[in-house]
Copies of this chain bind each other. A is one copy, B any other.
């Protein structure tokens, strides 16, 4: 409908609009941006002509002039990790609400790639970065300069933070199992180079210790496949319940149990952490600790955009609550 009238093939520029409207380029710019002082009649006329020509500002030019690109970068460890797509989705949507676009990057768990990605984004001139670091290492320290950065789920002294109250999550899980009557409970934690990950299991373990119910505390990589030692511990009858620091590992544990003909939850109860979508599809559904990842995505964008607007404001640190989601993997311990 709003095709270019003077159809020269190219997209119309400010100059074209100015020419067609019979005013100067500056006036068009002012009118379009509600800036400067433009008379009511002229403004209307300019807007009209611009619409008729189908004028769209050239954002590259705008970016060069203003130094702002209207784009932000999202740096994630791994898009195929089921935790992240929902986050990415909400970041993209929240950004679009504010007319920002999002460069998404996934670093495959490599620090090298993380740095390369950040560098590429900075060079692109993004106005800010939302960064979910691989682990606790601050690999971008020397790269970001004064660029607004929002860090997710990690500590970082230099940037705005959005964190998760993992302590309370870890406690909730442990308490739920205690409440169900379990007294021999194993804890499996995820990656040890991530504080937030260690903390989850640590708080679980602490609660269990207090009830004298901690059978053992092991580690496993963030993976569906259990390491042999862990698989053995899970299935050797030493525990009636598991507190697992990540859903993916929890699903792996369920799998290991089933392969040895043990039933969940009749023989072993399990609670995970993350509430990844897989969990809801399992049978029975995995009981877990939910992280409000959608809200986090939205809030990440909002916080970042505020920081972009007001770089000098004092550092923000948001903490999100988690909730326990009961599905089907918790039952009383087997009686025998």
User: Which residues of the other chain, B, contact A57 by a CB distance below 8 angstroms?
Assistant: 123
Dominant secondary structure at the A interface: helix
Q: Given A93-B106, A101-B103, A255-B283, does the pair A277, B82 have CB atoms closer than 8 Å?
A: yes
Instruction: Report whether A123 and B56 are in contact in the complex, using a CB–CB cutoff of 8 Å.
Output: yes
- Indicate if A30 sits at the interface (CB-CB under 8 A): no
Q: Given A61-B64, A63-B60, A64-B61, does the pair A71, B255 have CB atoms closer than 8 Å?
A: no
Nearest residue in B to A86 (C-beta to C-beta)? B80
Instruction: Report whether A255 and B277 are in contact in the complex, using a CB–CB cutoff of 8 Å.
Output: no
Q: Given A79-B85, A85-B85, A283-B255, does the pair A60, B125 have CB atoms closer than 8 Å?
A: yes
User: Which residues of the other chain, B, contact A89 by a CB distance below 8 angstroms?
Assistant: 78-80, 106
* Shortest Cβ distance from residue A104 to the other chain B in the assembled complex, whole angstroms: 4
Instruction: Report whether B59 and A124 are in contact in the complex, using a CB–CB cutoff of 8 Å.
Output: yes
Instruction: Report whether B224 and A59 are in contact in the complex, using a CB–CB cutoff of 8 Å.
Output: no
Instruction: Report whether B59 and A123 are in contact in the complex, using a CB–CB cutoff of 8 Å.
Output: yes
Instruction: Report whether A71 and B281 are in contact in the complex, using a CB–CB cutoff of 8 Å.
Output: no
* Shortest Cβ distance from residue A29 to the other chain B in the assembled complex, whole angstroms: 16
Q: Given A102-B103, A104-B92, does the pair A69, B80 have CB atoms closer than 8 Å?
A: no
Instruction: Report whether A102 and B104 are in contact in the complex, using a CB–CB cutoff of 8 Å.
Output: yes
Rounded to whole angstroms, the CA-CA distance of A56 and B86 in the bound complex is: 33
Instruction: Report whether A82 and B79 are in contact in the complex, using a CB–CB cutoff of 8 Å.
Output: no
The B-contacting residues of A in range 177-230, CB under 8 angstroms, are: 224
Instruction: Report whether B106 and A120 are in contact in the complex, using a CB–CB cutoff of 8 Å.
Output: no
The B-contacting residues of A in range 91-138, CB under 8 angstroms, are: 92-93, 96, 99, 101-106, 108, 116-117, 120-125
- Indicate if A258 sits at the interface (CB-CB under 8 A): yes
Residue positions of A touching B, CB distance < 8 A: 56-61, 63-64, 69-71, 78-80, 82, 84-86, 88-89, 92-93, 96, 99, 101-106, 108, 116-117, 120-125, 224, 251, 254-255, 258, 277-278, 280-283
